[in-house]
Amino acid sequence: MTTSNGMKTDNHGSAGGKDACRLPLFARFPQLEEMLPRFPLGDFPTPVERLSHLGHDNLWIKRDDLTSSIYGGNKVRKLEFTLAEALRRGCRQVITMGGIGTNHGLATAIFCREAGLACKLLLFHQPVNHHVKQNMLLFCAHGAKLRYLKGVLRTGASLLITQRLLNPGAYILEAGGSSPVGTVGLVNAMFELVEQIRAGLMPEPRYIFCPLGTSGTMAGLSLGALLAGLSTTVMGVRVTMASVGPVDIATPKTVENLMRKTWRLLKKRSTAIPDVSIGPQYVIDDYVGQGYGCATRECRAALDLVREKENITLDPTYTAKAFAALLDYIEKPPYKNAPILYWHTYSSADLTARLQTTDCRMLPPELQRIYEGGDEG
């Protein structure tokens, strides 16, 4: 197979220019390698490191901020599978949605270019800060077509209904990349962690903390733990609204449903996938503050502390809220003495140079006005 930018791939969607080493999930279930296309984008495995300066004797971090030197974070793992699926279907464009500062949208724009695909982002409003403004410019720098639809429900309806009708040949990618296909990338991430545990790089974590936005990361890690036979409990720290109108966004139910859909996808692709019992998922609701993208006092304190003590960069929308929860929980039993892993989902890639190639005049008029209107939080 050949992508639209002329890059050669094999039957599994593997790009010849990337290290196509075998994924731990595929090593455990070889039939999946034949049945699930993948477009390699990341640099795996990502490191696990001890956090030694935060008052807990057994605290670790999974450095998924280093999934790619181009643009890291958890989205890379999802896009390896979703973009491969788009290419397999012969699509020329990927359409997805997010806030006006969406990291998922930026990752999609960046890696669509790698795969020779056009990218269209449907955007809803969120509080404007420096990071949001940077991402707005970076959308333009990476060639994404932007459409601002203001509200979350209107944006979601456009993605799931209008765009499907207007662009029948496009690949419609769920918010956050959190489709069953994308979630496979996080299932594999847990098998990657198992290999690191077996190699003695860290103990088996009793708890894993991660942000909960569109459910994909938590669902994939939780399902991966079940399939790998770990006793680990994944703790999702909700960073967005639990629901919008009648639509659940980030709840135990959304995580459990995505786990079941992903399991069914894997089972359909490999008869070796074992049956699992998907129980209630643990979601922490107390750290979202005023809503998605609204920084809290606790998350700002966590951001400053982790930067000062561990030289790790968090962001106020996702990771700092999750880490704020972790800092509180490690003071309490049974977390105080248990091995705990924080799964870091924010990109640490420096895109400053790309910002020099664009300015706000490249934005659509409505987004330009928002950009020039100042910070909200």
| Domain identity same for 40 and 82 | no
- Name, in order, each residue with C-beta under 8 angstroms of 246's C-beta and a sequence gap of 6 or more: none
Q: Is the pLDDT of residue 5 over 70?
A: no
Average pLDDT for the chain? 93
Residues 235 and 340 in one domain: yes
Query: Does 99 lie in the same domain as 235?
Result: no
Kindly state whether residue 353 falls inside one of the protein's structural domains.
no
CB 286 within 8 A of CB 296: no
137 & 64 share domain = no
Confidence of residue 14 (pLDDT cuts 50, 70, 90): very low
Pair 280, 132 in one domain:
no
Per-residue pLDDT of 20-50, as tens digits, reads 578 999 999 999 999 999 999 999 999 999 9
**Same-domain pairing of 241 and 313:** yes
Domain boundary among 150, 178, 206: 178
pLDDT tens string 308-351: 999 999 999 999 999 999 999 999 999 998 999 999 999 999 99
> 184 and 174 in one domain?
no
**Does any domain span residue 12?**
no
Residue 112's domain comprises 77-178
> Does residue 169 sit in the same domain as residue 302?
no
Whether 314 is covered by a domain: the verdict is yes
Cα distances from 183 to residues 81, 258, 359, 367, in angstroms, run 9, 8, 34, 31
User: How many CB atoms within 10 Å of residue 28?
Assistant: 17
- Going by C-alpha positions, the residue among 322, 261, 316 that lies closest to residue 286 is 322
Calculate the dihedral angle through the C-alpha atoms of 157, 163, 165, 171, rounding to the nearest 10 degrees.
-120
- The residue assigned the tokens 């039993």 is 333
Residues 221, 98, single domain; the answer is: no
350 within domain boundaries:
no
Do 137 and 191 belong to one domain? no
Cβ contacts of residue 183 below 8 Å, gap of 6+? 78, 216, 219, 220, 223, 258, 261, 262
Q: Is 257 within a domain?
A: yes
User: What is the token pair recorded at 12?
Assistant: 């599994």
CATH number at residue 88: 3.40.50.1100
Give the β-pairing of 247-248 and 243-244. antiparallel
pLDDT band at 177 (very low <50, low <70, confident <90, very high): very high
> Residue 224: which of 254, 258, 271, 268 has the closest Cα?
258
Inside any domain, residue 13: no
Span 198-244, pLDDT tens digits:
999 999 999 999 999 999 999 999 999 999 999 999 999 999 999 98
Question: Which band of pLDDT confidence, cut at 50, 70 and 90, is reported for residue 15?
Answer: very low
- Close Cβ partners of 73 (under 8 Å, ≥ 6 residues apart): 64, 65, 67, 103, 107, 345, 346, 347
Q: What is the pLDDT of residue 357?
A: 87
Considering the domain boundaries, does residue 15 fall inside one?
Answer: no
Q: What percent of the chain has pLDDT over 70?
A: 94
Question: 326, 342 in Cβ contact below 8 A?
Answer: yes
* pLDDT value, residue 9: 44
Residues above pLDDT 90, as percent of the chain: 91
- Are 251 and 239 found together in one domain? yes
Read off the pTM: 0.93
* Amino acid at site 264: R
Whether residue 246 is found in the same domain as residue 268: yes
Domain boundary among 178, 207, 222: 178
Residue 6: is its pLDDT beyond 80? no
Based on the structure, what is the number of domains in the chain? 2
Could you say which of 115, 149, 178 is where a domain stops? 178
Indicate whether 313 belongs to any domain.
yes
